[in-house]
Amino acid sequence: MQYCSLLLKAGAQTLKESGILNSRLDAEILLSSIAGKDRLELLSKENLKVSSEQAQFYHYLIERRKKREPIAYIIKKKEFFSLPFFINSNSLIPRPETELLVEKILGIYKNKKPYILDVGTGSGCIILSLLYSLPNARGVGLEISKNTIKIAKTNAKKILKSQIFKVKFEHSSIQNFSSEKHFDVIISNPPYIPTYEIKNLSDDVKNFEPKLALDGGKDGLDVIKKVIYKSKYILKSKGLLALEIGNGQYFKVSQILKSNFFRTKYLIKDFKNNIRCIISELNF
């Protein structure tokens, strides 16, 4: 048996020496996942111990984090909108900025019955958070990766439970998706990073997160253009298209929206005051 307090100290020191910014927090999260205790209990009980096997496994996880592997992939879990999502390296790690978009959509459709399409659903965090909080909503999640759809389906069972009938996942790109003009809202957090910028991302992102979910082509707008173009044919008139975009892409995206009969209704800024989400209405 080994004391958790000593393991935490050693783990945090190893990560700190490796240049990990949140070394103490990361060490706590990793040990919590192994000990089966929440961080508060871990820190408040000085005599808490784990087995030698658990301690050995903890050191293994510390080594993985030392190599910049994201915490979410190591513990296979990420909280999004206060819900626990299963995550692995086949899906993008949910970001706090995306929660702002979900929050806005929930406000717009509160007490309504929207039919929602989530393009590039990934872990399913957007569509499932919306369906969890909107009792009368139903939706479809589109995803081009078969491995990623498995993650979304796993999360649907965990999040929606007996209401899993509210969602359907389809293995398809937006271009090949066949649908009538009946969606109330289309929401997407597409890949929007220009190809040439991928190499400048942090090691945590560029070495571990799926390139398919990051690379938006030469100008970062390849998938965004496809989503906008197709949306005007499958959204109801006056339906909403909600897009997360990259920093500095607002002007170009707003012009593409305008030329495809969309009128901007809401802009959402991130925590650094950059426009990161555009919600527009279809007039077509």
Contact call for residues 158 and 127 (beta carbons, < 8 A): no
Residue-wise pLDDT tens digits, 16-32: 999 999 999 999 999 99
Q: What is the pLDDT of residue 41?
A: 78
Q: What is the pLDDT of residue 208?
A: 95
| Same domain flag for 123 and 142 | yes
Q: Does the structure show a pLDDT above 90 at 47?
A: no
pTM assigned to the model: 0.93
| Same domain flag for 15 and 89 | no
Number of structural domains the chain divides into:
2
d(CA 44, CA 60): 24
Tell me the DSSP string of the chain: -EEHHHHHHHHHHHHHHTT-TTHHHHHHHHHHHHHT--HHHHHH-TT-EE-HHHHHHHHHHHHHHHTT--HHHHHTEEEETTEEEE--TTSPPP-HHHHHHHHHHHHHSTTS--EEEEET-TTSHHHHHHHHH-TT-EEEEEES-HHHHHHHHHHHHHHHGGGGGGEEEEE--TTT----S-EEEEEE----B-GGGGGGS-HHHHTTS-GGGTB--TTS-HHHHHHHHHHHHHEEEEEEEEEE--TT-HHHHHHHHHHTTEEEEEEEE-TTS-EEEEEEEE--
Residue-wise pLDDT tens digits, 124-158: 999 999 999 999 999 999 999 999 999 999 999 99
| Same domain flag for 181 and 47 | no
**Chain centroid offset of residue 219 CA:** 22
Please list, residue by residue across 184-202, b when 16 or more beta carbons sit within 10 angstroms of its beta carbon and e when fewer do: bbbbbbbbbbbbeeeeeee
Query: Tokens standing for 131?
Result: 């369906």
Q: What is the pLDDT of residue 58?
A: 94
Q: What is the pLDDT of residue 91?
A: 94
| Same domain flag for 188 and 238 | yes
The angle formed by the CA atoms of residues 194, 195 and 197, to the nearest 5 degrees, is 70
| Same domain flag for 25 and 138 | no
C-alpha distance from residue 209 to each of 54, 91, 199, 203, 226 (Å) = 27, 7, 13, 10, 22
Q: What is the pLDDT of residue 45?
A: 76
Question: In one letter, which amino acid is 226?
Answer: K
Assess if residue 72 is contained within a domain: no
Q: What is the average per-residue pLDDT within 265-269? A: 96
Residue-wise pLDDT tens digits, 185-241: 999 999 999 999 999 999 999 999 999 899 999 999 999 999 999 999 999 999 999
CATH code, domain with 19? 1.10.8.10
Cα torsion 123, 187, 158, 42: sign: positive
| Same domain flag for 56 and 88 | no
Where does a domain end: 33, 67, 101? 67
Assess if residue 73 is contained within a domain: no
CATH code, domain with 119? 3.40.50.150
Contact call for residues 137 and 166 (beta carbons, < 8 A): yes
- The chain-wide mean pLDDT, for the chain, equals 94
CA atoms within 13 A on the CB side of 185: 25
| Same domain flag for 101 and 222 | yes
d(CA 245, CA 81): 19
- Domain containing 236: what range? 78-282
C-alpha distance from residue 1 to each of 27, 34, 104, 176 (Å) = 18, 14, 49, 56
> Among residues 141, 191, 196, which one has the least CA distance to residue 166?
141
